A and B are shown apart, each in its own frame.
Chain A
Amino acid sequence: MALFIYGVASNYGKDFFTAEDRQNFFLRGYPGDVWVIGATEKGALWLAERGVEKTKAEAQAIVDGEVATAQAAYDALPEEQKTNLNRQRPTAINLP
Chain B
Amino acid sequence: MTTYNQIAGRRVNFLSSDPTYVDTNSDGQVWYNSSTATLKSWLPTGAWASGGNLNTARYFNAASGTQTAALAFGGSPGNITTTELYNGIAWTSNPTGLNTGRYGLAAAGTQTATVAFGGSGPSASTTEKWNGTAWTSNPTGLNTARGYLAGAGTQTAALAFGGQAAPGITGATESFNGSTFTSLPGTMNTARNALAGVGTQTAALAFGGSDPAFTTATESYNGTSWTTVNSLNTARYANSAAGTQSLAITFGNGDPVTGVTELWNGTSWTTSPATLATARNRGAGAGTQTAALAVAGYAPGASNATEEWNFGVYSYSAAAWASGGNLNTARSNLAGAGTKTAALAFGGYVYPNPALTSSESYNGSAWTATPSINTARQSLGGTGTQTAALAAGGAVSGSATESYNGTSWTSVNSMNNTRVLPGLVGTQTAALAFGNNTPVVTESWNGTSWTNLPASMNTNRYASASAGTQTAAIAAGGAEPAPSSASESWNGTSWTSTPSINTARTGLAGAGTNIATIIFGGNSGSATGATEQYNGTSWSNLPSMSTAKAALGSAKSGTQNSTLGFGGYITTATAATESWTGEVATAGSKTLTTS
Contact = CB atoms under 8 A, between A and B. Distances in A.
Interface of A: 11-23, 27-29, 31, 66-67, 69-70, 73, 84-88, 90-91, 93
A69 B301 CA distance: 8
Given A11-B305, A69-B301, A86 B212 contact: yes
Given A13-B51, A14-B89, A15-B543, A85 B279 contact: no
B193 interface: yes
Contacts of B254: 88
Nearest to B278: A29
A31 B256 CA distance: 13
Contacts of B306: 13
Nearest to B305: A11
A55 B210 CA distance: 38
Given A18-B50, A19-B49, A86-B212, 6 more contacts: A11-B50, A13-B53, A14-B89, A22-B48, A23-B315, A67-B300
**Chain B: interface secondary structure?**
loop
4 tightest CB-CB pairs across the interface, nearest first?
A19-B47, A70-B300, A16-B50, A29-B278
B12 interface: no
Contact of A14 (B90, B212, B256): B90
Contacts of A19: 47-49, 308, 310, 315-316
B367 interface: no
Given A22-B277, A73-B301, A17 B194 contact: no
Given A14-B90, A18-B318, A20-B316, A90 B256 contact: yes
Q: Which of A11, A21, A91, A93 has the most CB of B within 10 A?
A: A11
Name, among A17, A69, A91, the residue most crowded by chain B CB atoms within 10 Å (CB to CB).
A17
A33 to B, nearest CB: 10
B316 A18 contact: yes
Nearest to B314: A19
B204 to A, nearest CB: 23
Q: Which of B77, B148, B237, B255 has the most CB of A within 10 A?
A: B255
The interface centre, meaning the residue of B305, B306, B318 with most chain A CB atoms within 10 A of its CB, is B318
B482 interface: no
17 contacts: A11-B278, A11-B305, A13-B52, A15-B49, A15-B319, A15-B543, A16-B50, A17-B50, A19-B308, A19-B316, A22-B47, A23-B47, A27-B277, A69-B301, A86-B210, A86-B213, A88-B256
Interface in B437-490: none
B170 to A, nearest CB: 12
A25 to B, nearest CB: 11
Contact of A85 (B210, B310, B320, B583): B210
B318 A85 contact: no
B274 to A, nearest CB: 7
Contacts of B154: none
Contacts of B47: 19-20, 22-23
Given A29-B278, A85-B148, A15 B50 contact: yes
A93 B258 CA distance: 11
Interface residues of B, number: 45
A49 B473 CA distance: 36
A67 B164 CA distance: 27
A24 to B, nearest CB: 10
Contacts, number: 99
Given A85-B210, A88-B255, A22 B274 contact: yes
Contacts of A18: 49-50, 316-318
A17 B255 contact: no
Given A14-B89, A15-B319, A18-B318, A84 B48 contact: no
Nearest to A21: B49
Contact of A23 (B45, B279, B317): B45
A88 B274 CA distance: 26
B299 interface: yes
Contacts of A13: 50-53, 90, 306
Contact of B52 (A14, A88, A90, A91): A14
Nearest to A29: B278
Contacts of A31: 299-301
B51 A14 contact: yes
A23 B51 CA distance: 16
B150 to A, nearest CB: 15
Greatest chain B CB density within 10 A among A73, A90, A93 is at A90
Interface string B494-526: 000000000000000000000000000000000
Contacts of B316: 18-20
Contacts of A66: 300-301
A90 B164 contact: no
Nearest to B209: A86
A78 to B, nearest CB: 10
Contacts of B237: 86
Interface string B161-181: 000100000000000000000
Interface in B67-83: 77
Nearest to A83: B212
A27 B24 CA distance: 28
Nearest to B45: A23
Contacts of A91: 255-256
Nearest to A15: B318
Contacts of A14: 50-52, 89-90, 541
A71 B310 CA distance: 34
B315 A20 contact: yes
Contacts of A17: 49-50, 277
Contacts of A85: 148, 164, 193-194, 210
Contacts of A87: 255
A8 B110 CA distance: 36
